[in-house]
Amino acid sequence: MENVALQLNHIYKSFGGVHALTDMDLTFKKGEITGLCGSNGAGKSTLLNIIFGVYEQDKGEIYVDGKELKKNSPIIAQESGMSIIFQHRRLMKHMTVAENIFIDKMPKKGGKIDFAKMEADARSLLEELELDIDPKVNVSELTTEESQLVEIVKAYAKNPSIFLMDEPTSALRQHGVEMMFSIMRKLKEKGAAVVFISHRLKEVLDICDNITVIKDGTFVVTDKTENFTASSLVDAMSGDIGKKMDDVLKNAEGGIIKQDIPLADRIVEDELLVEVTDLVTDEVSDFNFQVHPGEIVGFVGLGGSGVQNVFDHLFGMEPRTSGSIKVKGKEVNFKNPIQAIRAGVGYVPEDRQLYGEFLDMTIQDNIGITKGQKNPYFSKIKAAAEKVATNEYIQTLGIKTPSGDVHISSLSGGNQQKAIIAKWLYSDVDLFILNEPTAGIDVAAKTEMIEFIKKLSCEGKGILYTTSYITELIDVSDRIFVVYKGKILREYQKSEFDYNRIFLGINGIEE
């Protein structure tokens, strides 16, 4: 098979007894762009990490240009002609663009790095790709989109024969996507095999020669792109997940769906907790929604859709251009998070370690800090009360720790997340804004977290919830708003929940 660049035979991979990949047989050809599609958790990123030697497969063989990689590692993968763009950027922020592009192989002269040649080579490469980026500036000075494009250029500079791309467009606007497509086509013309992962269906259908779908770590189908439509592609990705959830108990009363939960009887009150009217920010426009006490309202959209921006704004982290927000009937315009906290709003951010906790402080300090922010300035910290409350939350939430005096950084991801929720319970907020609350935690902890979030709603808390896992959002939410390019595309009631339609919706496709 002279045209085959990469072949995977019977690849298996498990993590802690959970099967991530099962009997995966795939072939990627030279001079073709293959879209690798699947829902979150399908195994796409795991597969690319195995190909590039970040993970070692449990069983199976990898062949590059007909030769088996007996052992693999990122170094061996690069020596075999592979380049990869990981899902999360890995640039060195305090190094220049040129230094980042050639970090693996900097030109030398007389035993020293030849910075002049490196900058000239980087400039030539950027000009070839029609990118207006100064190779001498530090990456820290670039926009998010420019940083992502530099990541792509860094991979392209290695002149790969196999180019692996894991969600490279998540930080790109349309112009950046077009630039990236140009780079992909250049590699294709050079005979490289390009493997492209994206949740943006239009991108996959526009740029790929063929598409491979995997589900739950197993192969589903490979076919030419022309034989797929957006709907048939989602059908292949979702399988039986896409069926309407007609078996979910529902009771419509007063326009608000009440979902039965084994933990407690939930009452969604008629009064409004939050009312957002005609909200306009830098990223969104014409946003209108309401939240009732005891209600879980889900939001879903691809990266850059505006969901993150709305959540940040509701916590006083982003300004608005126009519009109205009322909390418990009172007009608010939070200028900072402290104002939001004092109004009864709590936020669990997507990146908990960067924005949600103080890693060098104890669990008790982390739980008590937001309640302190609600108090007047220079008020005395009530350490004894904090200790009692912390111990209660450790017991109630099942936080696995010897005491509240250990650093929060010593906890597992799931237990850190529980501690972050505990601080908002201690502050007695009325609205919980939950941004990817189950990200980075194991399956058992995720189940506990979801059940606890449902319990919060039973206690009358209003909850805004977003996650990239649509099945999780369907399980948790009373209503779901689909957001596309800064606008609410559609609101779904519980009785209308349909995985396929929601997935198409976040891609801007309504059926």
Domain assignment present for 411:
no
- Residue 253: per-residue pLDDT: 33
Same domain, yes or no: 73 and 202: yes
Q: Which residues of 116-127 are buried (b: 16+ CB within 10 A; e: fewer)?
A: eebbebbbebbe
- Residue 430: per-residue pLDDT: 94
Same domain, yes or no: 96 and 174: yes
Domain assignment present for 357:
no
Same domain, yes or no: 48 and 184: yes
Ramachandran angles phi, psi of 304, nearest 5°: 85, 5
**CA dist., res. 60 & res. 237, Å (int):** 24
Helix (H) or strand (E) holding 210: strand 210-215
Domain assignment present for 374:
no
- Residue 249: per-residue pLDDT: 29
Same domain, yes or no: 119 and 255: no
Domain assignment present for 410:
no
For residue 291, give its domain range.
Answer: 243-340+464-505
Domain assignment present for 213:
yes
Number of domains comprising the chain: 2
Alpha-carbon separation of residue 226 from 208, 213, 233, 240 (angstroms): 9, 14, 11, 24
Question: What residues contact 434, with CB distance under 8 A and at least 6 apart?
Answer: 348, 453, 463, 464, 465, 466
- Residue 385: per-residue pLDDT: 85
**CA dist., res. 375 & res. 366, Å (int):** 16
The CATH code of the domain that includes 18 is 3.40.50.300
Q: Taking the chain (511 residues) in consecutive chunks of 10 residues, what is each chunk's mean pLDDT? A: 89 87 96 94 92 95 94 93 85 93 90 93 93 94 90 92 91 86 94 94 95 94 95 85 36 37 54 95 93 95 90 93 94 93 91 75 87 64 82 86 89 83 88 88 78 90 93 94 95 93 90 66
Boundary residue ending a domain (242, 265, 287) = 242
- Residue 383: per-residue pLDDT: 80
Same domain, yes or no: 198 and 58: yes
Quickly list DSSP for 295-362.
Answer: -EEEEE--TTSSHHHHHHHHTTSS--SEEEEEETTEEE--SSHHHHHHTTEEEE-SSIIIII--TTSB
Same domain, yes or no: 76 and 10: yes
Local structure of 445: helix, strand or coil: helix
* Axis-axis angle for helices 363-374, 383-397 (nearest 10): 120
Helix (H) or strand (E) holding 184: helix 174-189
Local structure of 462: helix, strand or coil: strand
Boundary residue ending a domain (192, 215, 242) = 242
- Residue 509: per-residue pLDDT: 87
**CA dist., res. 449 & res. 412, Å (int):** 13
CA angle at 116 for the pair 112 and 119, rounded to the nearest 5°: 115
Q: Which two tokens stand for residue 333?
A: 């315009």
Domain assignment present for 351:
no
Same domain, yes or no: 231 and 292: no
Domain assignment present for 308:
yes
Boundary residue ending a domain (242, 272, 289) = 242
Same domain, yes or no: 184 and 247: no
**CA dist., res. 326 & res. 147, Å (int):** 37
Domain assignment present for 144:
yes
